[in-house]
A and B are shown apart, each in its own frame.
Chain A
Amino acid sequence: MFKKAITSANNKLLAGLTALFSSNMFAAWDDLNMTEGVTAISKEVFDLHMLIFWICVVIGLVVFGIMFYSMFAFTKKKNPNPATFHENTKVELAWTVVPFLILVFMAIPASNTLTKIYDDTEGDINIQVVGYQWKWQYKYLEDDIDFFSNLTTDWDEIYNKTPKGEFYLEEVDEAVVIPVGKKIRFLITANDVIHSWWMPDFAIKQDAIPGFINTAWTIVDEPGIYRGKCTELCGKNHGFMPVVVKVVTQDEYDAWVQDKKDAAFRMAELTEKDWSAAELTERGEGVYLKNCVACHQVNGQGITGIFPNLAGSDIVLNNKAKNIEILMEGVQGAAMQSFANQLSEVDMASVITYTRQAWGNAENGDGEIVVPKDIVEYKKPKV
């Protein structure tokens, strides 16, 4: 009862202070401050941030005010005979107790907001978010939709060969799509090292930890495209795996879900078809550039001591079975992850075929290609 009264008074005070000091006063300074965001929680977080900020400003002005005054009024010239006091129990007690009370005043709304954020009941839509080196995977658990989200900014832009686009480093091939007004629950984990999924406009940040699942939830009020980042050092391309969430109306969302399901169906058809070496190689090059080039490099040479070369590699040249196994299982104790659930059978077969054909490998090795049916076969349980 008492707690509720304080909380309610606090919230009113918070609202009042916010109205007084809201970001609108400093709209021109928008790129200098945290975003207010587009959810009820993000706005609460913003208000909390501003409240603490202003309290610090006031304390700073008082303390530094006294200090600067002393620096001017009590120079040796102006005050050749310094005072001799060096303790005062009453004053010292006061400036221990008063700050403590200010902290309590801050802790109440902070604890309140945190408790709301931790309210972890079921969502209308549950999306598993998996961090990989260096991309995100999203799985919509109810609708069985599964896709990867890669940075689409060209490396030519990054290396200053072409001009940088508007959404430089903030654009992906497949954004997360969610409807407005529904409770979305994110189940966040990782496939390799620790990553972190941050959506500033939703005030969500949770670490993506291999072997564990962290949860976060949001209800977004306004449609739009929102951009976030990976916020835990995860290796070479930590700065190159952004997050993009598209918030749409319920109708648009339903249409998108249907689209995804249709695409999955079409992919199944592709797996059954007969592919030529040329078709596989062409498709495979695209897959390679998206998924493999970061480590194994465009020329297939890898980086000595860290990432093995594929051009001229014995396994790629002469050992089709082992080649498939490495892509499907990953390599224990090394950075090479399993790509089995990252690539469709078609893409898996294409990329392996590409590496077996490119860089002179076709001429120097057994030249065997891999077709999607080989991957389907591999996936069957072994007797």
Chain B
Amino acid sequence: MNEGSKKTIKTLCFAVLGMFTFSFALVPLYNVFCEVTGLNGKIELTKSHQR
């Protein structure tokens, strides 16, 4: 197997692990995104209509 192939395989394996980690990172990222953009419509609504 040539050197180029070995390099490609390594990069792709890192990409796979990276994307798996990314999916877990989405959990806190989701909340961060909502705070930073202020796009929190649903939760604001809940607050203002709690009786």
Chains A and B in contact, CB within 8 Å: yes
Q: Which residues of A contact B (CB under 8 A)?
A: 120, 141, 187, 212-215
Report the bound CA distance from A187 to B45 in whole Å: 10
Report the bound CA distance from A141 to B51 in whole Å: 10
Query: Could you tell me the distance in whole angstroms from the C-beta of A7 to the nearest C-beta in chain B?
Result: 24
Closest to A187 in B: B49
Q: Which B residues are in CB contact (< 8 Å) with A213?
A: 42, 45-46, 49
Q: Name which of A141, A187, A213 has the most chain B CB atoms within 10 A of its CB.
A: A213
Interface residues on B, range: under 10
Closest to A213 in B: B46
Query: Could you tell me the distance in whole angstroms from the C-beta of B39 to the nearest C-beta in chain A?
Result: 12
Give the residues from 2 to 51 in chain B that come closer than 8 angstroms, CB to CB, to chain A: 42, 45-46, 49, 51
Q: Which A residues are in CB contact (< 8 Å) with B45?
A: 120, 213, 215
Closest to A212 in B: B42
Query: Could you tell me the distance in whole angstroms from the C-beta of A286 to the nearest C-beta in chain B?
Result: 32
Report the bound CA distance from A265 to B24 in whole Å: 52
Closest to A128 in B: B49
Report the bound CA distance from A212 to B46 in whole Å: 8
Report the bound CA distance from A214 to B43 in whole Å: 10
Interface of B is mostly: helix
Q: Which B residues are in CB contact (< 8 Å) with A187?
A: 49
Q: A141-B51, A213-B42, A215-B45 are in contact. List 7 more A-B contacts (CB 8 A).
A: A120-B45, A187-B49, A212-B42, A212-B46, A213-B45, A213-B49, A214-B42
Q: Which 6 A-B pairs have the closest CB atoms?
A: A213-B46, A212-B42, A215-B45, A213-B45, A187-B49, A213-B42
Query: Could you tell me the distance in whole angstroms from the C-beta of A144 to the nearest C-beta in chain B?
Result: 11
Q: Which A residues are in CB contact (< 8 Å) with B46?
A: 212-213
Closest to B46 in A: A213
11 A-B contact pairs sorted by A residue (CB < 8 Å): A120-B45, A141-B51, A187-B49, A212-B42, A212-B46, A213-B42, A213-B45, A213-B46, A213-B49, A214-B42, A215-B45
Q: Which A residues are in CB contact (< 8 Å) with B49?
A: 187, 213
Report the bound CA distance from A278 to B15 in whole Å: 69
Report the bound CA distance from A213 to B43 in whole Å: 8
Query: Could you tell me the distance in whole angstroms from the C-beta of B50 to the nearest C-beta in chain A?
Result: 9
Report the bound CA distance from A120 to B45 in whole Å: 10
Report the bound CA distance from A138 to B12 in whole Å: 53
Q: Which A residues are in CB contact (< 8 Å) with B51?
A: 141
Q: Which B residues are in CB contact (< 8 Å) with A120?
A: 45
Report the bound CA distance from A213 to B44 in whole Å: 10
Query: Could you tell me the distance in whole angstroms from the C-beta of B21 to the nearest C-beta in chain A?
Result: 27
Query: Could you tell me the distance in whole angstroms from the C-beta of A194 to the nearest C-beta in chain B?
Result: 14
Q: Which B residues are in CB contact (< 8 Å) with A141?
A: 51
Report the bound CA distance from A333 to B42 in whole Å: 26
Report the bound CA distance from A213 to B45 in whole Å: 8
Closest to A215 in B: B45
Closest to B42 in A: A212
Query: Could you tell me the distance in whole angstroms from the C-beta of A370 to the nearest C-beta in chain B?
Result: 31
Closest to B50 in A: A213
Q: Which B residues are in CB contact (< 8 Å) with A215?
A: 45
Query: Could you tell me the distance in whole angstroms from the C-beta of B51 to the nearest C-beta in chain A?
Result: 7
Query: Could you tell me the distance in whole angstroms from the C-beta of B46 to the nearest C-beta in chain A?
Result: 5
Query: Could you tell me the distance in whole angstroms from the C-beta of A134 to the nearest C-beta in chain B?
Result: 25
Q: Which B residues are in CB contact (< 8 Å) with A212?
A: 42, 46
Report the bound CA distance from A187 to B46 in whole Å: 10
Q: Which A residues are in CB contact (< 8 Å) with B42?
A: 212-214
